[in-house]
Amino acid sequence: MRTLGMTMFFAAVVVSAYGSPTLAQPASSVPGKTAAKNATLPDPIVIDTSEGRITLPHLAHAKQFHCNTCHSEIEPGKIAWDKDTAHAYCRDCHTRNGKGPITCAECHKK
């Protein structure tokens, strides 16, 4: 029983830190927390990495997906992902949905 409790505790910590790894949902099917409700979204988001600059069309993503697809369910804000987490969310989502950059050079611009 103690092991189950610890497992649930660590799962809650990971979800609160990185957000729930839910499948992307179209914004039209999810009430609230879409770009239409929050017109102050930073767009685009530019991230400088050692492999090159990433430009994220934030508004386009916000119109298509619920905020907690990437952000914490508590309150969206800046995401502090490491390389592996970003690849798991971004590249894998692009692969699943059949659009968006997948290769290093498509996303990272030098």
Give the residue with greater pLDDT, 14 vs 48. Answer: 48
Residue 39 has what pLDDT?
55
In this predicted structure, what is the pLDDT of residue 76? 74
Helix (H, G, I), strand (E, B) or coil at 80: coil
Task: Estimate to the nearest angstrom the gap between the alpha carbon of 85 and the chain centroid.
Answer: 9
Quote the CA–CA distance of 18 and 79 in Å, as a whole number.
8
Banded model confidence at residue 30, pLDDT cuts 50, 70, 90? very low
Residue 76 Cα distances to 30, 79, 92, 96, angstroms: 15, 8, 21, 23
Strand positions, DSSP E, the chain = 45-49, 52-56
| Tens digit of each residue's pLDDT (9 = 90 or more) over 41-82 | 889 999 999 999 999 999 999 999 888 888 877 777 888 889
Q: How many CA atoms lie within 13 A of 89 on its CB side?
A: 18
Determine the Cα–Cα distance for residues 13 and 59; give it in Å rounded to an integer.
Answer: 28
Report DSSP state, residue 73: S
